[in-house]
Amino acid sequence: MLELPSLRELEVFRATISAGSATSAAQRLGISQPSVSRALAQIEQRVGMILFLRQNGRLVPTAEALALNNELDDVFESLDRVRRFAVEADASRGGRLRVLAPPSFCSHFVTPTIVEFKQAHPNVLIEFRVVSSQEAINRITSCEADLAVTTNRVAHAGVRMETMLQTQSICAMPIGHRLASRQTIHAKDLEGENFIALTSNLKARRGVDRIFERGGITRNIIVETTTNHAACECVAAGLGITVINPFPVISNFTGQIVIRPFVPKFEHSVYAVFPSETAPNWLGRAFLSYLKRNAINWRA
């Protein structure tokens, strides 16, 4: 008798097709890569089909896998309706949600998400604090907040982290700049350029500095600022060039600056952080789903 895969196994299956690798699927689901591989092997055994081929480190879905994934669309759409119903039912009870985020994520990501969430859940009291990434981690570990957004990856017993988005640094320059005609900007191209930098206490600044130091490249740093938004404002005013994480501010400068991929690649991750002592309450889980959706929409 055919043994059907479990719902969790099917979630792993769909995440793997979407992500293209077991590692990416594991990050998306918040589980280990071996757990993804085991779940895929169990599904193949249960349905008696080969669902993925291994090619150059990636999992390529077979025709059978794609057909199965299409059949599952209706199933998971129904489950999403059930989840939304449960969230809306919980929302009618009200509650309090405590959110923390650094300045870079406020105006263009967290605050609009809070407005959207509040409109959908009018009975919920939302306490939003704008703090540094380090202070956000400290408050999470002491259970003074339900959820924080940060780019800092930390190994701390008091926190649990979930990746929401991964991006790569871009080079932003004024319109009409001599490098604007290039499709890609290399670090060596910025030798002697007027440069807008983040302040030296920020992790992203230290990472960019190392790239130029390793290449022996000298920039003319003329402004230091604490936020990517302020850096882009300086670029738009024609003061110089910057290398930053494009999320979430870059979409607000369309038509005001020129952006190009930057080489070598410098990756950034955006995390949701929870206290490890307690599982996120329904408000934290619901708000995280809004954040994830808006992060995905930003990338699109």
CA-CA-CA-CA torsion for 205, 208, 209, 210, nearest 10 degrees?
Answer: 130
Alpha-carbon span 262 to 275, nearest angstrom: 35
Amino acid at the residue 9: E
d(C-alpha 113, C-alpha 44), whole Å: 39
- State residue 173's pLDDT score: 97
Task: Please give the model's pTM, rounded to 2 decimal places.
Answer: 0.64
Q: What is the mean pLDDT of each run of 10 residues along the chain (300 residues)?
A: 79 85 83 87 87 82 88 84 68 77 87 94 91 85 88 78 90 96 96 95 90 95 93 96 93 92 92 78 86 86
What is the distance between the alpha carbons of residues 106 and 112, in angstroms, rounded to a whole number? Answer: 8
In a 3-state reduction of DSSP, which class is residue 117?
helix
Alpha-carbon distance 25 to 190, whole Å?
36
Beta strands 194-198; 242-244: pairing state: unpaired
Beta bridge partner(s), residue 185: 262
Tokens coding 64 = 């059978």
What does the pLDDT read at residue 125?
92
Separation between Cα atoms, residue 208 and residue 217, nearest integer Å: 11
- Residue-level pLDDT at 78: 83
Per residue in 39-84, pLDDT (tens digit) is 888 888 888 888 888 887 778 888 888 888 888 888 888 887 777 7
Q: What is the pLDDT of residue 92?
A: 53
- What's the confidence (pLDDT) of residue 55? 81
Domains plus CATH for the chain? 7-88 (1.10.10.10), 94-162+270-299 (3.40.190.10), 170-265 (3.40.190.10)
Q: Say if residues 39 and 12 touch (Cβ distance below 8 Å).
A: yes
